[in-house]
Chains A and B, each alone.
Chain A
Amino acid sequence: MNVLAYLIPISLILGGLGLAGFLYTLRSRQYDDPEGDSRRILTDTWDDHPKP
């Protein structure tokens, strides 16, 4: 049962990381244009080099 001492905190931390990631994307307005973003991946404008 000692393994619980690791597993519970680890699962909480991993879940917390996911939550923090989600909150970051939310705050950086990544959900403002879901439709446009899903279509933008189809463009090949920045395929060869990243956007300056």
Chain B
Amino acid sequence: MSTLSTNSPVACPGCLATPAQGAPVIVSDARVMLSLPTIHCQACIAKVEKTLNTYPGIKNARVNLTLKRALIDAVPEINAGELVTLLEAEGFEAHELDPGAINDTATHTAGRDLLMRLAVAGFASMNVMLLSVAVWSGATDATRDLFHWISAAIAIPAIAFSAQPFFRNAYAVLRAGRLNMDVPITLAILLALATSLWETWLSGHHAYFDAALTLTFFLLAGRWLDARARSAARSAAEELTALEVPRAWRIDAAGPLEVSVAQLRVDDLVLVRPGGRAPVDGVVIKGRSEVDRAMLTGETLPELRDIGDVMSAGEVNLTGPLTLRATAVGQDTSLQRMAALVAIAESGRSRYTALADRAAKLYAPGVHILSALAFLGWLIWSGDLRISLNIAAAVLIITCPCALGLAVPAVTTAASGRLFGKGLLIKDATALERLAEVDTVVFDKTGTLTTGKPRLCNWASLTQSQQRVAHALAQGSSHPLSRAIVQRAMSEGCQPAVLQAPVEKPGFGMEALFDGGTVRLGRPDWLGITLDDAQVCAVLDAGDGHCVALKFEDDERPGAMQTVLLLRDLGLDVVLLSGDRMPAVNDFANKIGIDEWHAAMLPQAKAEFVEALRKQGRHVLMVGDGLNDTAALATAHVSISPAQALDAARAASDMVLLGQDLSPVAEAIIVARQATKRIRENFRIATVYNVLAVPLAVAGLATPLIAALAMSTSSITVSLNALRVGGRG
């Protein structure tokens, strides 16, 4: 798979494997890929496609609603940024995706491969079943033999093709000297085929070709469901990585040049424009600006950076252009070193074994011992090798984990489908099981419980002319406080004043001429004011003699308060950990209703806090977004991060919250508890069925008809039981 996908000259490596005649060209020629997280219906598809297709330079655009993506085939001059603005004007949230980081063809081919085998197994089993029904309803002698021979002719090639995944897995595991579910499956299929062939050869009454095929079919169905759920999660995880197109401006002799981050070297001069993220660790050699470190430290207030100051990768430059001399690039940046630490912490999580694996560990040897005992018992009692072998095969077929193979994937597919509909993505297969055990929830503040965007709260106390001046000044800057002012002013319908010569003083604020005087908006110390209040503030001098402080608050994320309430109703302890200052955290915790909170936590302290809880035997769910949370995310029993979170945080967490709303977190716990209950129920159903059917098989009463009936009923019961998780929306 990987050989196909790396640097292949064809845009879509999947098309190499697929004959060209069937493949629509749109997919293979897609140049620009956009993620459209908000589209949800037919009208959205039509509107997006119409908008894009009528835009000059676009040859073809097609929306994929399942992946919430648009694939655009366009002339090389087209810029993804234009298309994003275009779609945003139409009311759709859009993000550029880096096609290089998306490798969905590998997952796709794996899924398609399984589906193809599933189809062949389905076709063969239906035909063989048809012939078997004739035998069961009374075909005898030559007719029966003929039917058996035809069945063999269908079953052998079909199984040789479709059961390959099991054979390969079983071989690999056996060579490593271990056992898993694939070993009894392979043995059952092969033994069933062998004894059936032998019986047919000797004109016997019973042949299990249909059982071998339906077994393959059901197990493949389980495998396919599993692969589908995982590939959906994987492709979405890749999509989140691809959201950040890694580009940087390198200053060469000829001026700034846009290059990919991978091309940067130590001592290169890198330009970080306002609004941009620093791609490297470096020292500021030119410029002065404020940087937003919220992602790294959880602090809401921007920090000032001047010549000689150090800037680390991942920090966002806010007001003025900065030139950095790179001191660390690529894997050596502090950002990447943190991510590497996370990887180490993550490996500790593999302690957890999935329910299915635990079941398999008990199950596989048990079945083999049982079948061997049945074989020996019958051999001693009857002395007939043929009958004994037949019975051993029947035992293996009947106990074969059809229902067990479906028990887990059917439930997780239904549950993850339901959660995906709510806006939560499950990255890890065992995350649901772990989530069901959670008893403590630890939240980060900035960017998780809050939006991380400040909101102006004393707008109404300003005079009208002050409002108009503030609006006009704020329009000229991309500082988050300015944007908050503009947003508030727009929502109040305030018209901006007409200013002359507005300039942004990087690191200080905005300055302009108005009515012959100077008006300013910026840092309190710049305007010569000291405020004892710890609140986030900007000061406005509207030219009318005195300065006014504009106060800001970090807005809570939608659904945050209900989520906290709901979590406590579920009987969970809720804790707030934040890197922010004490008063801000105190106010917020009181407002949202969290009793236990800790402020000014360093990343290490957060992780240690979670570790301490773990040592007490608690199962912690960590919800966080910043780099300061990643270690804690990896230490926790299970973790969730919002899609806006930093790459490292998303990589460290088991689930990703796609929308702005926080309420799916509580929903996830409910669904996870339900899903685990269903999985256990499914195991019980499978066990009950085994307890009923095994004595029949050991007693030699399991005819192919009984085997087929028992197998199908148990599989269908298990699947229907799983569907109960998906329902009740």
Contacts and interface: CB of A to CB of B under 8 A. Distances in A.
Interface residues of A, number: 27
A39 B45 contact: yes
Contact of B65 (A23, A26, A36, A43): A36
Contacts of A1: 143
B22 A27 contact: yes
A33 B67 contact: yes
Contacts of B22: 24, 27-29
Interface in B135-166: 143, 146, 150, 154
Contacts of B46: 43, 45
Contact of B116 (A26, A35, A45): A26
A31 B64 CA distance: 11
Contacts of A43: 42, 45-46
B537 interface: no
A11 B150 CA distance: 12
Contacts of A24: 22
A8 B451 CA distance: 66
Interface residues of B, number: 30
Contacts of A40: 42, 45
B698 interface: no
Given A1-B143, A15-B123, A32-B64, A27 B130 contact: no
Given A8-B150, A26-B112, A33-B66, A39 B42 contact: yes
A15 B41 CA distance: 36
A24 to B, nearest CB: 7
A16 to B, nearest CB: 7
A4 B150 CA distance: 12
Given A11-B127, A39-B42, A39-B45, A27 B19 contact: yes
A19 B42 CA distance: 31
Interface in A4-38: 4, 8, 11-12, 15-16, 18-19, 22-24, 26-29, 31-36
A23 B119 CA distance: 8
Given A32-B64, A32-B66, A33-B67, A15 B115 contact: no
B727 interface: no
Contact of B123 (A16, A33, A35): A16
A11 B130 contact: yes
A22 B119 contact: yes
B63 interface: yes
Nearest to B21: A28
Contacts of B115: 26, 31
Q: Which of A16, A33, A36, A43 gathers the greatest number of chain B CB atoms within 10 Å?
A: A36
B70 to A, nearest CB: 11
B64 A33 contact: yes
Contacts of B66: 32-36
Contacts of A34: 66
Contacts of A32: 27, 64, 66, 108
29 contacts: A11-B127, A12-B127, A12-B154, A15-B123, A16-B123, A18-B123, A19-B120, A26-B112, A26-B116, A27-B18, A28-B24, A29-B18, A29-B22, A31-B112, A31-B115, A32-B27, A32-B64, A32-B66, A33-B64, A33-B66, A33-B67, A35-B65, A36-B63, A36-B64, A36-B66, A39-B65, A40-B42, A40-B45, A43-B42
Interface of B: 18-19, 22-24, 27, 41-42, 45-46, 63-67, 108, 112, 115-116, 119-120, 123, 126-127, 130-131, 143, 146, 150, 154
